[in-house]
Structure 1
Amino acid sequence: MALNLNSIGKKIGPFIRKYNYKDIILYALGVGAGFAELEYCYEKDLKVIPSFSIGTILNIDFLSAVAEVTNINPAGVLHGEQKLIFHKKIPIEGVLTTQGAVTNIYDKTSKGAIIIAEFDTFHSYDKKKLYTSIMTIFSRFDGGFGGVDTPKTNFKFPQKEPDYIVEETPCKNQPLIYRLSGDIFQLHVDPEFSQLAGFKKPIMHGLCIHGFACRALIQSLIPGKPENIKKMDCRFSKPLYPGEPIKTLIWKTKKKKVFWKTINKKTKEDIITNGVFEYE
């Protein structure tokens, strides 16, 4: 099936999701929060981990909608990069409406295709925009259509030791909890499916590790004030198996802006890289 280049600019959505404090707490538990961060896990004075934002829209229905409009092969889809821009504090309950469009498609020839999709999410209380999500989807089987390549980027981490290092170990059952927030893809739960996909067992959700990193960034830079986040960007690099320890490394660059990445503590491999975090 040929890639549909005419999908650029076509509306995707709206996706509607009603949520309440239980969804906020379930997500927090899914990304490793607990008694040490009770503000994310107890309805009294509850706060929202901002990475909940992408957790609310990235699910099977969303990926199916992108695949349908672009004609990409769902079997080859990987979440490549994620940018989040926060406009307002996320309330602890309500109805979220998300809609957007494919904004660009790039050709990586034999490596596949890159699809860029941008979405805005609004809240039912005041109809104002809460956050913008810019997602890069890598489709391994859809390259070679004669399109242009992605623009070159030149991301460099500071040549110094990190200013903050946060270590954690997701539990061996972490994906079983995280998937209850919406991403029920078999790769993270079904051993047989995972082996067919080339892994020895189910792997962690990339966005689950993203949530661990978000907690680490808030803890290091704006403790107790998750509403002060303005931007969070990253690139997903390598898979991680449940139970393997991670380290989130954070470098100060300029006022209210840091670079970050999350690595596998044992292998030193980048799990998430090219991270940018801005706050107020």
Structure 2
Amino acid sequence: MFSYRHAFHAGNHADVLKHLVLVHILDYYNQKDAPYWFIDLHAGAGLYDLEGKWAQTKGEFVDGIARIWDKPDAPQAVKAYLEQVAALNPDSNLRYYPGSPWIAQQMLRPTDKLRLFELHPSEVEILNLNLEAQGKRIPRQTTVFDTDGFAGLKGQLPPPPRRAVVLIDPSYEDKQDYRRTMDTLKDAVQRFATGCYVVWYPQIQRLEAQQMVRQLDRLDVKSWLHVSLTVKKSSPDGVGLNGSGMFIVNPPYTLKEALKPAMPWMVKMLGQDDRALYKLDDKSA
């Protein structure tokens, strides 16, 4: 149950897509003075050392963030994301990579709140230590729950400011995560229809993953945006991650236009063979 450690995968191509989208959404929410909550159901440790033994074990960041780190021709959405990574690496040497909670705590304002869930005992311990090291303001505006995020979200909705971004990105190591993601998303929309819900999923050779993608596209909501990035063809044995996708309920109206130039560039930079491609679709209110 507690085998997954995101440090093995930190900064890979899936993280690049996930965090590029997240940065744009948080920046959009920051444009209004009204406060909001960022709720992360699977927070992880928050911060990762790319020179550490776990990140070096698989070195997945080499085919992810490292490929685009120093590219001056990056589209604006990519540049905004790279600025958040650069904030941790002021000497321009890529060593530290921010997870979703870290990006959020960098971008959120003092009036906004973070609600972070992490069930893995080692991960949540490191997350708390990382946050405490940031000083008084961050712990004061942040609540960390060492409980199941799927179940815990119910108690957070609707949030008092009636504005929230909710990230649902389990590891999907457990096949039940696909069903739980859909059940949680449907329940959340019923409780708080105007929230922005961000679902990340892996592209893998597993029936449950393919079924969830179809279910997401049929979700009965007013508006959604669906973007995916495939970096290579599936391996013959079906093992490994060949891409990932992001499904956003109630996306910022600016997100699709921001992704139009970003995604072809991402295919060019992160693609590993001739099967690399992206898809971008939406349903408007």
Query: Relative to total residues, which structure has the larger strand share, 1 or 2?
Result: 1
Query: Relative to total residues, which structure has the larger helix share, 1 or 2?
Result: 2
